[in-house]
Amino acid sequence: MAMKKLLKLFLLIVLLCCGCEDRIDQPLSSVETGSIVVEAHFTNENKNQLVKLTKPYLEQNGSVVPVSGATVVVVEGADTFYPLVETPAGSGEYFTSNMIAVFGRVYTLVIRHQGGEFVAQARSVPVEPLSPLTYENAGNDQYRLMLNESGSESNYIEYELSWADTPVCNPGTNCLGLVTYYDLKNVDVQDLFKPDKKDFLFPVGTRVIRRKYSVAPEYRDFLRSVLSETEWRGGIFDIQRANASGNVSGALGFFAVSSVQIDTTFIVDKP
């Protein structure tokens, strides 16, 4: 953390001394390539694992168009096959039967659609244990999460919050929240100078389910590409826009396998 702070100060001084900005106006054009976008993240949870297939956006703020009617199979090792079924039909969402993505095994994703074949391989790395949940009083009977780096390996944690069963949840109100904290062990200027986020506040009695995902090196590179185009964009060190680097041959997107640690905490009153 200290090194990140020193680097941030150094880069800020450099920016103030020699920063400049030029405006470049270029027409934007989109071309239908026949490619697809793959979203697939398998874990060691016993569940129906999901592969989501869509078409690339042809314009900004376009609508999601599912890729339906594909043949999708996942192979564990060399001889265990899991065919996926599109559910519901036309959704572009393909599910396995209940399965656990086992640590140490190689998983191969094969997609066939309209004469094209798209292939990716992935395997998980171990996940480090979750440290105790930390949060603090934000005043007015509200609390905020304290999001800190943990362990020595790349990871990210999803915080699923619900205060639907507390007295402060009014009928018809959405008393849910989802916060994701990425700890990729990276030193990126975009991350250091990313725009500030508004605190997510919640009351006493909130249930917090945490899921900590391990991140293999190739998956880490993909997440960095995605974050550069999303959460880290809008700072003073934006990069030129581009598609996130993926691992699916002939397609966009990524196929990842992670190990997961899960726990549940209820927020109690604290000074």
Q: What is the pLDDT of residue 9?
A: 47
Q: What is the pLDDT of residue 146?
A: 95
Q: Is the pTM of this model over 0.85?
A: no
Radius of gyration of the chain (CA): 21
Q: What is the pLDDT of residue 91?
A: 98
Domain boundaries, the chain: 37-122, 126-240+259-266
CA distances from 120 to 49, 86, 246 (A): 16, 19, 9
Select the more confidently predicted residue: 5 or 43. 43
Q: What is the pLDDT of residue 43?
A: 98
Q: What is the mean pLDDT of residues 152-173?
A: 96
Q: Is the pLDDT of residue 152 over 90?
A: yes
Q: What is the tens place of the pLDDT at every residue in 84-125?
A: 999 999 999 999 999 999 998 999 999 999 999 999 999 999
What CATH class does 37-122 carry?
Answer: mainly beta
Confidence of residue 169 (pLDDT cuts 50, 70, 90): very high
Token representation of residue 42? 């398998």
* Strands 37-43 and 252-258, bridge-based pairing: parallel
Q: What is the tens place of the pLDDT at every residue in 219-240?
A: 999 999 888 876 655 555 445 4
Q: Give the span between the Cα atoms of 64 and 61, in whole angstroms.
A: 9
* Strands 135-139 and 142-145, bridge-based pairing: antiparallel
Q: Average model confidence (pLDDT) for the chain?
A: 85
Would you give the distance in Å from CA 120 to the centre of its chain?
A: 18
